[in-house]
Structure 1
Amino acid sequence: MPTPTIRPARPDEYDEIGRVWMNSWVSTGLAEASNFLLAQLRARIPMEIEKGWSLFVADDDGHLAAMLALHLPDRYLDQLFVAPEYQGRNLGRRLLAFTRQHLPDEIWLRCVRENEKAWRWYEREGFVFEKEAVEPMTGFVMKYYRWKKEGNAR
């Protein structure tokens, strides 16, 4: 089976990217799928791109397997979501390696505290916990992590 290709997202894919995002987020058990949530995520995509997102997808022969949103000037990995049917196939690790190609010296990210599977994975991938803070827009407690290339001052 060929591996999905990571490439820049196209505007005509934003609706499907929203669906991948929602289904992956719902797979954490922290939300339920709904038309309202899907509409919120779909509406966020063009707004975030306007604010500086670089948006990528993992394309599996025309089927979107994952989405990755980076804010390159801030060295920020904003969103990494793998569709449930692609989870457990090392696609997240490939997306993280892709991120490190674009941000080779330092990456920071936030993760919902209750999404233990995600933050434990980031810790295994070399990210170091820095702090927790409440996200005022959602009320979620966010865990902040940072990864620095070996040899860089901490």
Structure 2
Amino acid sequence: MSGETAVLLRRAAESDALAAADVWLRSFSAALPTVARPRTDDEVRAYFRDVVVPSRETWVAEAGGAVVGVMVLDEGLLSQLYLDPGWRGRGLGDRFMAVAKERRPRGLTLWTFQVNKPAHRFYERHGFVAAEFTDGSDNEEREPDVRYVWRP
């Protein structure tokens, strides 16, 4: 492992909620600088603490004692997949995707913003197909998005 920090993927505990929210905040800011966020940082943290971690299948990636990625499954929806910006391009997303497909072998759907071209390439590389494009009128950000579907 020549200097690489080992990364553990595991189910999130309540104590991970703040760190997971902070990964989401850093990743969103880095990947989507043109997308207006409708919620404050504190509202995002409260949402992770009160809703996401307790009531969704939430996974985290941990490296060196720090949370560096978060993935959330909500039934057949891959509702969140965010990596700390310094961890992009290092295979962590691929590992999360393998877990998601293992956990939902009958298929997955997800939404991503149309401006997020790196996400499109990532999901398409993992067998997802664009199924619907919207003008964003149905999401909080009012940002055009695309629904992707994966069927094994």
User: Normalising by structure 1, what TM-score?
Assistant: 0.85
CA distance in 1, matches of 2:34, 2:9: 27
How many residue pairs align between the two structures? 144
Determine the structure 1 residue equivalent to 2:31: 28
Higher relative contact order at CA 8 Å, sep ≥6: structure 1 or structure 2? 2
Aligned pair partner of 1:47 in 44, 51, 56: 51
- 1:43 maps to amino acid: A
Determine the structure 2 residue equivalent to 1:102: 103
Determine the structure 2 residue equivalent to 1:18: 21
2:12 equivalent to 1:9:
yes
Matched position secondary structure for 1:7: strand
2:104 equivalent to 1:137:
no
Determine the structure 2 residue equivalent to 1:117: 118
Matched position secondary structure for 1:138: coil
How far off is 1:17 after superposition?
A: 1.1
Matched-pair contact (CA < 8 Å) for 1:127–1:147: yes
How far off is 1:60 after superposition?
A: 1.0
How far off is 1:116 after superposition?
A: 1.1
CA distance in 2, matches of 1:137, 1:29: 14
How far off is 1:2 after superposition?
A: 4.3
- 1:110 maps to amino acid: W
Determine the structure 2 residue equivalent to 1:85: 86
CA distance in 2, matches of 1:22, 1:119: 20
CA distance in 2, matches of 1:68, 1:136: 20
For the aligned residue pairs, the C-alpha RMSD in angstroms reads 1.9
Matched-pair contact (CA < 8 Å) for 1:108–1:147: yes
User: Normalising by structure 2, what TM-score?
Assistant: 0.86
Deviation above 3 Å: which 4+ runs of structure 1? none
Gaps of 5+ in 2: none
